């Protein structure tokens, strides 16, 4: 059974609007959470992370929110740009030794 779940396979957003990608996890031992972005024919690349001691982390247009009690995290992209169109994976780890990935959400930002 997957320990990290992304229940929305796809999301379509208008350029300039906010994109919100969601991720849920089941293992309460997870303390480190990351988002990766993947373009076709490329490997995933790191986007932003958060540790369990925080509930928010920002990096430019990207903000990750963590709700530990709900075992839920979300990635906000504001404003969304066409170049943000990609597959986004969330990942979680208890100890930085093994990382568990969600199934991904394909974001399409329309011009």
Partner 1 sequence: DADVTQTPRNRITKTGKRIMLECSQTKGHDRMYWYRQDPGLGLRLIYYSFDVKDINKGEISDGYSVSRQAQAKFSLSLESAIPNQTALYFCATSDLSTGTEENTGELFFGEGSRLTVL
Q: How far is the CB of 109 from partner 1 (least distance, A)?
A: 21
Q: CA-to-CA distance for 101 and 92, rounded, in angstroms?
A: 7
- 60 versus 111: smaller Cβ distance to partner 1: 60
Burial class of residue 91, CB neighbours in 10 A (0-12, 13-18, 19+): buried
- Per CB under 8 A, residues contacting partner 1 are 2, 4, 6, 9, 31-32, 34, 36, 41-46, 49, 51, 53, 89, 91, 93, 95-104
- 52 versus 79: smaller Cβ distance to partner 1: 52
Kindly provide the b/e burial profile for residues 50-85, where b requires at least 16 CB atoms within 10 angstroms of the residue's own CB: beeeeeeeeeeebbbbbebeebebbbbbeebeeebb
Q: How far is the CB of 16 from partner 1 (least distance, A)?
A: 28
Q: How far is the CB of 24 from partner 1 (least distance, A)?
A: 13
């Amino acid at each position: 059974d997957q320990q990290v779940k992304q229940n929305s396979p796809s999301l379509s957003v208008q350029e300039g609007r906010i994109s919100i990608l969601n991720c849920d996890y089941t293992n309460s031992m997870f303390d480190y959470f990351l988002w990766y972005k993947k373009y076709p024919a490329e490997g995933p690349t790191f986007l932003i992370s958060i540790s369990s001691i925080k509930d928010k982390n920002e990096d430019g247009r990207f903000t990750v929110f963590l709700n530990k009690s709900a075992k839920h995290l979300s990635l906000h992209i504001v404003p969304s740009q066409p170049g943000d169109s990609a597959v986004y994976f969330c990942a979680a780890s208890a100890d930085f030794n093994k990382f568990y990935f969600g199934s991904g959400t394909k974001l399409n930002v329309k011009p």
